[in-house]
Amino acid sequence: MSKIDARLPRELTHRVSVGGVKVGGGAPVSVQSMCTTDTADPTATLAQIRELADAGCEIIRVAIPGAAALDGFREICAASPLPVVADIHFDHTLAIEACRRGAAALRVNPGNIGSWDKVDAVIDEAGAAGIPIRIGVNAGSLDPAFAEREDLTFVEKLVGSATSFVAHFRDRGFDDMVLSAKAHGVPTTVEVNRALSRELPEVPLHIGVTEAGTARQGTVKNAAAVGALLMEGIGDTIRLSLTADPVEEVNVAWDLLSAVGLRQLRPELVSCPTCGRCQWDLMGVASEVERRLSGVRSPITVAVMGCVVNGPGEARGADIGLAGGRGKAVLFASGEKIRTVDEADAVDELFAEIERRFS
Ligand code: SF4
């Protein structure tokens, strides 16, 4: 009788190292972002990388749009607290030079490099440097053998192109690949990554909805698509692109990893929607608690609930929390009451208890 492999898709992928960060092979799903600074300005770029590292970013990508961006690249790689991925389109010589100047990985779209000879030169240089390559595929960088075929859907073109690129890299003796096939929409993103996971189960996947939009819309799209895939065990590293400060991307990525139960970096806030039983300013309290939790590093769950009748019970899974009443609040932990406090002191009392128990 054949044995069923119960491992998740992300446990079956080949593990690569991006600097010190492992991607694939069941490694924790890593959080990436991309600098918005000019890479030719190492001071500004390093300042943003440090800010992103503080927020929990684990891999950072910088754009190399031309030779000028390479000038500061060596300094950025040498001083960065995070592994730096060089993002290169069109010009393979930039990719080769980025390998020589300390890139921890490359991101290239073979479909826009121009010829296989040029792609091979990049593959060989990355191989010599011992760094992985993220192969990107999107509507603008399909394999020409698939791009014009009218019998294929867009998803089939993406998957066909990705499969053909991976085969080429393997034929060249290069296995340290991460694959990303990007689309704007939620259904397409889910469909294409499911197909890639099925067709190329050993290749780690970098997932995210590309050009997802501003903070609100982009968060919803990424949560829907990336959340669904992560829950299916698909996806080895994530970048949730938002038209916003990249720190927000990292915050949203961690909130998503926490929400799907994969990784928790910071406290998670649980709060009820309120109803007619609520007798205190829950929205104000929740905002204040959220603000003050940004300074807490323990991965605890904190609840703020609208009433003492149902609050502690509804938030039984929380490590600690407050349930408000008329002028008073109940401080509780794991569903059990600790003590009653005055409403005016409730948030201070909560944080004093968090400090006592979890720091
Ligand atoms: S905790 Fe209380 S106030 Fe909040 S939704 Fe439940 S019953 Fe309503």
Domain 268-358 sits in CATH at 3.30.413.10
Q: What is the pLDDT of residues 5-49, one digit of tens each?
A: 789 999 999 999 999 999 999 999 999 999 999 999 999 999 999
Rounded Cα distance, 15 and 291, in Å: 37
Residues of the chain under the 70 pLDDT cut: 1-3
User: How close is the Cα of 328 to the center of ligand 1, in Å?
Assistant: 15
Question: What integer pLDDT is reported at residue 2 of this predicted model?
Answer: 57
Q: Rounded to an integer, what distance in angstroms lies between the CA atom of residue 179 and that of residue 305?
A: 43
Pocket of ligand 1 (CB under 6 A): 272-275, 277-278, 305-307, 310-311, 314
Kindly report whether the global pTM for this prediction surpasses the value 0.85.
yes
Domain with CATH 3.20.20.20 in the chain: 9-259
Superfamily of domain 9-259: Dihydropteroate synthase-like (3.20.20.20)
- Cα 80–chain centre separation: 19
**Residue 275 structure tokens:** 């109803």
Q: Write down the pLDDT at residue 301.
A: 94
So what's the pLDDT on residue 316?
Answer: 82
pLDDT in tens, 136-174: 999 889 999 999 999 999 999 999 999 999 999 999 999
Dist. CA 108–CA 262, nearest whole Å: 28
- Please choose from 307, 308, 322, 330 the residue to mutate so as to test ligand 1's pocket, defined by most ligand atoms within 8 A of CB: 307
Region of 267 please: left (phi>0), alpha (psi -120 to 50) or beta.
beta
